[in-house]
Structure 1
Amino acid sequence: MQKEGKGTDLIFKAMADPNRRKVLDLLFSNNGQTLTQLCEQLDMQRQSATQHIEILVKANLVTVVWKGREKLHFLNPVPIYEVYERWVRKFEENRLGFLHEIKTQLEGDNHGTT
């Protein structure tokens, strides 16, 4: 997992914008798209799309692979998973543990049997 700091800040900044989240969703649905393909699905000019994609690339959320003359964009889910591990999973575990404790208390020692 990457260290807390600049990398995480870039990920949160990149994912804060709804246009960039849409790019990630588009790549999740159909990975390996060209800028032209992405622009056809975005409600913005090519220059704006390029700027958004560059922010995603800097955050390591999108990788670029050249195939001949085509520049293909691919989703990199690893940084999102790292954010999940660091910021979401631990809160889920606490919540699920709490719900389990409530269930156990409500059911008593007989675990729901009579």
Structure 2
Amino acid sequence: MIAEMVDELSTTFKALSHPIRRQILDTLIHGPKSTGDLNEKFPEVTRYAVMKHLGMLESANLITIRREGRVRLNYLNAVPLREIYNRWVNKYEDQDANSLLTLKEKVEQSIGRKDQMENGLKQDSFQIEQEITIHAPREKVYEALTSDIDQWWAYRLSGDKKSTLSFEPKVGGRFIETWGNGEGALWGVVSYVKAPEEIRMNGLLGMRGAVNSAYTYQLEEKGDDTVLKLSHHAYGLIDPEWRAGHDQGWQELLGKFLKEYVETGKRPE
């Protein structure tokens, strides 16, 4: 496993070594772009060269590709960068200084304002695509996403109260947090399940207000590993900062907490 991690890091660093590839990633921070859009952004190189750069980024798992009709959309997948950060930076930083933007925190910062519409909320949508490679069989990853979710999903809506998370992997099943006396929160409801290949859900995902989310886990076998593909589409009254907050939140939840739990049994501190 150590040799595999070294190979992955080598591929990541190689992909980051070229300035055009770094510029492509900087562009994708603001949202997905078609291959044609990226080609226009770099008129100094040929379309073939841009495709080669995209191929290198895809092989390093730094971008994910989704197709809408004949259009190829390129999404930033920052999970490998998060793994580099966790390995060489995160462990040496003070925990308070290293607090990440979480799903709950980003929502609370916005919904606590007196007038949502006057403070930046607008009718909008965002889409997040991520891929995480986990060194474990697909069945084990699926079990962690469902039966074991209370062990690694660190974000809670209960505040100071101790809560429990449960996930029912069936159509109509609930992803729910409870903290006693009939109190709790519904994170989502399962709309499609095909164990151990795919789960689709709808719900607020910890947000409040006139907003909804649809999110999908797809699990694909890759040798002895599992590639977990996340698609998250949110729509409604949305703060412009929510996309970045959720993108980071998913990176931490799936790329760190879930991955470490499945591979080593480690739980979030």
Q: Secondary structure at the match of 2:45?
A: coil
Shift, 1:44, TM fit: 1.5
2:14 corresponds to 1:27: no
Match of residue 40 from structure 1:
40
Which amino acid letter does the alignment assign opposite residue 40 of structure 2? E
**1:91, distance to aligned residue in structure 2 (A):** 4.3
How much is the aligned-residue C-alpha RMSD, in angstroms?
1.8
Tell me whether 1:5 sits opposite 2:12 in the alignment.
no
Cα distance in 2 for partners of 1:49, 1:39 equals 6
Gaps of 5+ in 1: 97-114
Q: Give CA deviations for 1:45-104 in whole Å, capped at 9, x if unaligned.
A: 1111100010000000000001111110000011110111112223445xx8xxxxxxxx
State the secondary structure of the residue aligned to 1:60.
Answer: coil
Q: Number of residue pairs matched? A: 92
* Alignment correspondent of 1:15: 16
- After TM superposition, give the deviation of residue 4 of structure 1 in Å: 2.3
* Structure number, greater radius of gyration: 1
* Structure 1 ranges of 4+ moved more than 6 A: none
Measured in 2, the distance between the counterparts of 1:25 and 1:91 equals: 26
Measured against aligned partners, the alpha-carbon deviations of 1:25-44 in whole angstroms (never above 9, x if no partner) come to: 01112x22111100111231
TM (normalized to structure 1)? 0.73
Greater fraction of residues in strand: 2
TM-score (norm 2): 0.32
Q: Report the AA paired with residue 66 of structure 1.
A: R
Q: In the TM superposition, what are the counterparts of 1:1-114 in structure 2 within 5 Å?
A: 4-29=5-30, 31-42=31-42, 43-93=44-94
Gap runs ≥5 in structure 2: 98-269
Query: Which structure has more helix as a fraction of its residues?
Result: 1
1:32 is matched by which residue type in structure 2?
P
What is the one-letter code of the residue matched to 1:73?
A: N
Q: What percent identity do the matched residue pairs reach?
A: 35
